[in-house]
């Protein structure tokens, strides 16, 4: 039996379901499933749809030696792989917490109200009667022990571990930066290629956490990620007092700006026009002369799409209603005909602590998208969530089933171009309404001031 040991440094808390254990960390089953998929992706060049990945692996018999004995690819008469599950690679894994020196994070943020107050991106405790469904855990160091009878497989794992951990977070809400681990710098210095990390083609921004406790540092990092993600996907409408009061500041989402440049209508206008025709007609009249405003194209665009959910789809959504209308929110929706409930965003935030004073947050695209882009193929045909494209979403008011509207996803989406155009926007171009600068806007300005000067994909 051959062994391989790694010591991982935890960079951000993990959201875990074991609410009765402050020692809960990465589950071995999750780690192995993700590592198996990553290795197979490396061997086949396919990180996308499972069926395609399995077919590519089947056609490369040199790698079959690494698959656990007894796996059946189940090939049909048309040469398609029909196996219901992905292959399991022939190694075992054990994970042990080495240090719980976490500046009191585990003990201080177990309460539901405190977790949601300090970490806006966390919603693992949604649902009545389940206040402690998930918690945050943070440990300084954990040990990964991998065993296999195949020494070549051990070598394969060793060769990809840096790359794997750079692209992977663990636990719930992992694509928003929770559960970020990496090889311990001082222990695995010979394995870690810092130049490779610094040169990796990805947008990134720094977060200053100097003088802060571990808890306050983590809250600062996730507040930055939260503001950037909302600025990209939904925009921010910060009220002074209550939901119907005046705005302290208002930011249009970068995806709105991106669609504006392509003469596509923002889905919020499409949806509001469907359910609140009179109110949106008044708005259209005010903006119809505004060349380039998506609302101005409402009466000329034949096909309208659901856009912002391309950055992450969930089964419920709240839309702010207009004053003096029937006073209801459009908040319940389901996708048909395949009943997809949700999918995670293809954009992942990877926070890594550079030193005691600084975090670097990398903005990573799904690996299949990144691979296709390197080959000058920006389509999303093999992207894991390509199953959503062209599918219809049913929207209804308050789930009563009486007011239903079907709206489709587009047939494709260029995520690389979207990121490029988003981060070319300056702070001034975000169309921020509101006169007074505050801490929120300073965070957004700090991030975009850094992203404006980057072009990691060397796109024109």
Q: What is the pLDDT of residues 81-96, one digit of tens each?
A: 777 778 899 999 999 9
In a domain, 146, yes or no: yes
pLDDT tens digits for range 95-127: 998 876 666 565 444 444 444 556 665 444 444
Cα 174 to Cα 154: distance, rounded to the nearest angstrom: 26
Same domain, 194 and 234: no
Q: How many domains does the chain have?
A: 2
Same domain, 115 and 28: yes
Question: Residue 167 — φ and ψ, nearest 5°?
Answer: -95, 0
Same domain, 66 and 139: yes
Domain boundary residue, one of 139, 168, 199: 199
* Cα atoms in the 13 Å half-sphere on the side-chain side of 331: 7
In a domain, 46, yes or no: yes
Helix residue ranges per DSSP H, 200-245: 214-233
Same domain, 95 and 239: no
Same domain, 227 and 334: yes
Which domain range does residue 140 map to?
2-199
Buried b (16+ CB within 10 A) or exposed e, 29-41: eebbebbbbbbbb
Same domain, 290 and 397: yes
In a domain, 152, yes or no: yes
Same domain, 232 and 89: no
Same domain, 244 and 282: yes
Same domain, 113 and 231: no
Nearest to 339 by CA among 388, 305, 410, 411: 388
Give percent of the chain with pLDDT exceeding 70: 70
In a domain, 211, yes or no: no
Nearest to 341 by CA among 367, 315, 362, 359: 315
H or E segment at 145?
strand 141-148
In a domain, 244, yes or no: yes
pLDDT at 401: 56
Q: What is the pTM assigned to this prediction?
A: 0.86
Mean pLDDT, consecutive 10-residue stretches, the chain (460 aa), reads 93 77 84 95 85 86 91 77 82 89 53 54 45 71 95 95 94 90 84 74 94 90 94 84 69 91 82 65 54 49 80 67 48 49 80 94 86 59 62 69 76 88 91 74 94 78
Same domain, 84 and 122: yes
Phi-psi bin for 399: left (phi > 0), alpha (psi -120 to 50), beta? left
In a domain, 460, yes or no: no
Same domain, 246 and 195: no
In a domain, 180, yes or no: yes
């Amino acid at each position: 039996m051959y062994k391989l040991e790694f010591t991982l440094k935890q960079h951000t808390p993990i959201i875990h379901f074991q609410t009765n254990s402050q020692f809960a960390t990465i589950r071995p089953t999750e780690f192995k499933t993700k590592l198996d998929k990553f290795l197979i992706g490396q061997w086949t060049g396919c990180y996308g749809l499972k069926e395609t990945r399995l077919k590519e692996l089947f056609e490369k018999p040199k790698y079959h030696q690494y698959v656990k004995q007894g796996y059946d690819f189940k090939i049909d008469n048309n040469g398609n792989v029909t196996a219901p599950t992905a292959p399991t690679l022939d190694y075992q894994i054990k994970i042990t917490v080495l240090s719980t020196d976490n500046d009191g994070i585990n003990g201080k943020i177990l309460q539901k109200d405190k977790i949601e107050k300090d970490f806006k991106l966390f919603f693992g405790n949604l649902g009545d009667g389940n206040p402690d469904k998930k918690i945050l855990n943070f440990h300084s160091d954990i040990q990964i022990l991998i065993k296999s009878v195949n020494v070549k497989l051990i070598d394969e794992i060793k060769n990809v571990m840096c790359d794997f951990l750079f692209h992977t977070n663990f636990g719930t809400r992992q694509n928003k930066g929770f559960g970020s681990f990496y090889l311990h710098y001082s222990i695995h210095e010979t394995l870690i290629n810092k130049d490779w990390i610094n040169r990796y083609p990805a947008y990134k921004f720094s977060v200053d956490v100097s003088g802060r406790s571990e808890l306050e540092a983590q809250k600062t990092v996730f507040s930055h990620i939260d503001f950037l993600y909302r600025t990209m996907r939904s925009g921010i409408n910060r009220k002074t007092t209550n939901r119907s009061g005046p705005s302290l500041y208002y930011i249009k989402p970068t995806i709105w700006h991106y669609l504006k440049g392509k003469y596509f209508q923002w889905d919020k206008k499409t949806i509001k026009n469907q359910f609140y025709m009179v109110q949106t007609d008044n708005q259209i009249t005010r903006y119809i002369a505004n060349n380039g405003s998506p609302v101005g194209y409402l009466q000329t665009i034949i096909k309208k799409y659901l856009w912002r959910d391309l950055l992450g789809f969930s089964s419920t959504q709240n839309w702010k209603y207009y004053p003096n209308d029937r006073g209801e929110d459009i908040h319940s929706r389901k996708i048909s005909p395949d009943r997809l409930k949700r999918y995670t965003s293809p954009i992942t935030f990877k926070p890594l602590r550079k030193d005691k004073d600084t975090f670097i947050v990398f903005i990573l695209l799904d690996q299949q998208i990144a691979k296709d882009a390197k080959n000058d193929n920006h389509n999303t045909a093999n992207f894991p969530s390509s199953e959503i494209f062209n599918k219809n979403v049913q929207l209804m008011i308050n789930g009563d089933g009486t007011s239903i509207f079907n709206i489709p996803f587009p047939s494709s989406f260029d995520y690389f171009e979207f990121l490029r155009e988003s981060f070319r926007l300056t702070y001034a171009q975000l169309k921020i309404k509101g006169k007074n600068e505050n801490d929120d806007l300073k965070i957004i300005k700090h991030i975009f001031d850094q992203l404006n000067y980057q072009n990691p994909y060397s796109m024109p």
